[in-house]
Amino acid sequence: MGWEIDSVILMKLGISVVLGFLLGIEREVKRKPVGMKTTVVICLGACLLTVISVESSLRYAEAYIRPMDPLRLAAQIVSGVGFLGAGVILRRSNEAISGLTTAAIIWSAAGIGIAVGAGFYMAALVVVILIIVFVELIPIVITWVGPQGLKMKQLRIKIRLQDDADLTQLLKDIKGLNLRVKNVRIKDLENGHRSMNLDAMTEKTRYTTDVYQDVKSVKGVLSAEVEGA
């Protein structure tokens, strides 16, 4: 009896593999730490545990006086997958945080597996489609027709200043490079030089390399470092 398997269960496992693959391939294309193998395993494992939970509640219902909750195990899946998601959230040395989207997709993959295991096939498919649309397509549309603030990307600029640099004029020149400066920090270095760190915004269509070349050409800049997408 233990070796028997229902065709519906096989179908559920197969659907979870396909949907997990669709989620993972999007991360794989972007070279993210979580790819299709991870999302397929998470989605498939969540689906399997949900199927076991549902089938067990039906199969052994007569053996227990109190009815079993078929989705109690699914609730534990959501909590457990949170640890995997936390593992891909990184805080870089420049205080930037990355991996939030990947962590959310990991959590969603578990939810999709649970949905398929519980028999909500269409809901799971719609969620996968919506995730791909909003992660991949909507940001592109926003860069064309969205508000100006959503068309901008953030840059972190580190500048080593010449000793005789006029700080006020240098900052004005940098703002004239089509950069929206949000924060400025000036620091004295141990060797007697000075540095300026800027948090700035520019159009997403503008290459970071172009910003670097422009900043380097400003009078008073000895060296520059620009970080951005």
- CA nearest to 101, candidates 58, 136, 52, 68: 136
At 213, the pLDDT band (50, 70, 90 cuts) reads very high
CB 109 within 8 A of CB 16: no
What's the whole-model pTM score? 0.64
Mean pLDDT, rounded, of the chain? 80
Q: Which two tokens stand for residue 156?
A: 């972190």
Spell out the domain ranges in the chain. 7-145, 149-227
Pairing relationship of beta strands 90-91 and 152-161 according to DSSP bridges: unpaired
Q: Which CATH class is domain 149-227?
A: alpha beta
CB 90 within 8 A of CB 97: yes
Cα angle 38, 5, 73 (rounded to 5 degrees) comes to: 55
Per-residue pLDDT tens for 14-58?
888 888 888 888 777 777 767 778 888 888 888 888 888 887 777
- CA nearest to 142, candidates 205, 93, 51: 205
d(CA 153, CA 130): 24
Residue 71 sits at φ, ψ, to 5 deg, of -110, 10
* Highest mean pLDDT, choosing among 29-43, 76-90, 147-161, 194-208: 194-208
Is 221 in a helix, a strand, or coil?
Answer: strand
What 8-state DSSP symbol labels residue 190?
A: T
Angle between helices 7-29 and 121-132 (to 10 degrees): 10
Higher-confidence position of 28 and 180: 180
